[in-house]
Structure 1
Amino acid sequence: MQEPSQVQRPLVPVAVGVLVRADGSFLLASRPAGKPYAGYWEFPGGKIEQGETLLQALARELREELGITHVQASYWRSCVMDYPHARVELQFCKVTQWEGDLRPCEGQALSWERLPVRVTPVLPGTLPVLQWLAEERDQTGARRLTLD
């Protein structure tokens, strides 16, 4: 029998959108007041509800958070993060097209960023994505960027 501290918490699936513009910039959003890590910057998204596919959840979350529709997205990568409030599987999708003007529907701040990002603090689950973006850029022959 496992000790209570060793019992693994349930894994919560989360759909996350990495919105990328043609110029290579990507969207980060601050976490709204009242949520864990309020004020930290992250890629937009949220929990995948029972019965939803990843892309259905992503479209719903982006509509609720940013007011955009007709999202063109594809699964990219995933990682597991064990936060004090939840253990989550972040399923990142690259979003290259959408309809509507982005607006902060939850009172969050929005920022189009490039590497290295200017906004701080950044949510720990965002750091792997920034590294992946830096690696992709490096593979195209561009200058290697660091995240520190």
Structure 2
Amino acid sequence: MWLPDETFKSVIQHTPLISIDLIVRNEDGEVLLGKRVNAPAKGYWFVPGGRVRKNETLDDAFVRLVKEELGIESGITRADAKFLGVYEHFYDDCVFGDDIGTHYIVLGYEIQLVEITVLKGSIKQHSCYKWWCIPDFLKSKDIHDFTKKYFKF
């Protein structure tokens, strides 16, 4: 469902957004991260994911996000993923600027890609994608702290 910018800005200002984060691992245990082009978290490496839309089931949102964020149409479903838990992300800015903050309620799901292909992910949210070794990205200042929290046990 599409909302005019002013309506969506009001939603961000007054309510938390529900989203799904995709923690994507390959056969070598590396994790896929995208370089964010939009606020919040602009300029940071972050896991793929996105908002759940009004009247969209979690199952439908999951399939849509796998397709939109990763470019995969192979039928990966929420039932194929490992649920990692519920997380909260608070940002001082939003896609419309830094005059209001963003609050996300995030459902984290881990999936494994058995056969690595060239991913054709979202150019709206990420300028590029990269596979990262967990010890390397836990040390990096370019990886957003909310992404690192999925891997700190």
TM-score (norm 2): 0.69
TM-fit CA distance, 1:120? 4.2
TM-fit CA distance, 1:58? 2.3
Root mean square deviation, CA, Å: 2.4
The total of aligned residue pairs comes to 124
TM-fit CA distance, 1:31? 0.6
* CA shift in 2, pair 1:51/1:117, >3 Å: farther
* CA shift in 2, pair 1:53/1:96, >3 Å: farther
* CA shift in 2, pair 1:49/1:115, >3 Å: same
Q: Does 1:18 find its partner at 2:39?
A: no
Bigger Rg over Cα: 1
1:93-123 Cα offsets, whole Å, 9 max, x none, are: 0112488641243152111111223454122
Partners in 2 of 1:90 and 1:123 — Cα distance?
Answer: 15
Which residue of structure 2 lines up, in the alignment, with residue 105 of structure 1? 122
TM-fit CA distance, 1:48? 0.6
Tell which deviates more after alignment, 76-85 or 13-22.
Answer: 76-85
Partners in 1 of 2:88 and 2:54 — Cα distance?
Answer: 19
Counting aligned pairs with the same residue, the percent is 24
Q: Which amino acid aligns with 1:35?
A: A
Gaps of 5+ in 1: 1-7, 136-148
- Structure with greater contact order relative to length (CA < 8 Å, sep ≥ 6): 2
Secondary structure of residue in 2 paired with 1:117: helix
Partners in 2 of 1:105 and 1:80 — Cα distance?
Answer: 23
* Matched-pair contact (CA < 8 Å) for 1:81–1:87: yes
Secondary structure of residue in 2 paired with 1:111: strand
Equivalent residue for 1:86, pick from 102, 108, 111: 102
Which residue of structure 2 lines up, in the alignment, with residue 5 of structure 1? none
